[in-house]
A = this chain, B = another copy of it.
Amino acid sequence: MPQHDAQARLAVSTVIFALSPETDGDGVERPSLRVPLVRRLREPGLGRWALPGGWLPVHESLDAAAARTLNETTGLAPRYLEQLYTFGDPDRSPGERVVSVVYWALVHSDEVERAVSDENVRWFDEDDLPDLAFDHAAIIEYALRRLRTKLEYSGIAHALLGETFTMAELRGVHEAVLRKRLDAANFRRTMEASGTLVDTGERLAGTRHRPPALYRFDPAHSPVASPSPASAAPQHAASVTAPPAPRPGTHSKDTP
C-alpha cells in the first residue's frame, strides 16, 4: 500500500456543551451553556485556548476518537455525539496542513461536577469565550447554530439534563439555548404530544410551591421522524456507546 506524496494531517475535535450549574438552589435561575476548552501547550497558538481533540489514530473510528478525546479532556461520557463538519482550509493552521473532523456533544449536567477542571482545562460560558486558537471561534459559533436549529425539531435537550427532570427544567434548557422565553403551557403540550417523554409517576418535593412531575426521556420514540426504517449510513445517534471508563488521564491534547 503505497504512501504517496505529502498529505494533510487528520485531527478530530469536539465542541462539548453542558449547562452551567444553577446558581440558585431552587432552580429558578436560567442556566447557561458552557463549553470546555484546553490550553495549548505548544506552538502554534501556545497559551491560547482550543477545542479538545487529537490526531486520529490509524485504527480508531472517527466517532470513537471523538468520544475518547472528549472523555480524556472532561472525564465525561457524552450523552449525545454527532459529527458537525470537517474544516480543512489550507491555511487554518500555520505551518502545517491540518484537516479537522469536528464533532459536537452534549453531556449531562448531573455529571458535570465530576468533570475535570484545572489550569489547562476550563469551562467557559457560551457568551464569554476567551481568545481562541486557529479557527476554533468560528467552529464554536457554527456548533451553536447547529444546536439551536436542531433543538427546535428534535428532542435532544434532555441530553443536557439528568435522568429525570421536570417540565420547567426542560423548558429552561430550551430557553437557555434558544435565548428566548417560551410559553409554559404551549411548551408542555408540544412536549407531551411529541411522545418522547414518560411520566415517572414521581414528583419533585421540597419546592415552595406545587410539586412538579418528574419525567424521563423515552429512547424508543427518540429521533421520531426518521423517514427510512432501515436507516442510512451515519447514525446521528443519541446515546453513544460510552468510552471505557471516565478516567481523567492524559488530557489537553494539541490539535487545530
Q: Residues of A at under 8 Å CB distance from B?
A: 1, 3-10, 55-56, 58-62, 83, 85-90, 95-97, 99, 101, 135, 138-139, 141-142, 144-145, 148, 227-228, 232-234
Main secondary structure of the interface of A (DSSP, over half): loop
Please state the number of chain copies in the assembly. 2
Complex CA distance for A213 and B99, rounded to whole angstroms:
47
Residues of B within 8 A of A62 (CB): 86, 88-89, 99
The closest CB in chain B to the CB of A94 belongs to B1
Q: Can you add 13 more A-B contacts, CB < 8 Å, to A1-B95, A61-B90, A142-B232? A: A1-B96, A3-B9, A8-B58, A56-B88, A56-B99, A83-B85, A83-B86, A86-B101, A135-B233, A141-B228, A142-B234, A145-B232, A148-B227
Instruction: Tell me whether A59 and B232 are in contact (CB under 8 A).
Output: no
Q: CB distance A141 to B232 under 8 Å?
A: yes
Q: Could you tell me the distance between the alpha carbons of A144 and B233 in the complex, rounded to whole angstroms?
A: 11
For A138, list chain B residues within 8 Å (CB).
Answer: 232-233
Establish whether residues A59 and B90, one from each chain, have CB atoms under 8 Å apart when the complex forms.
yes
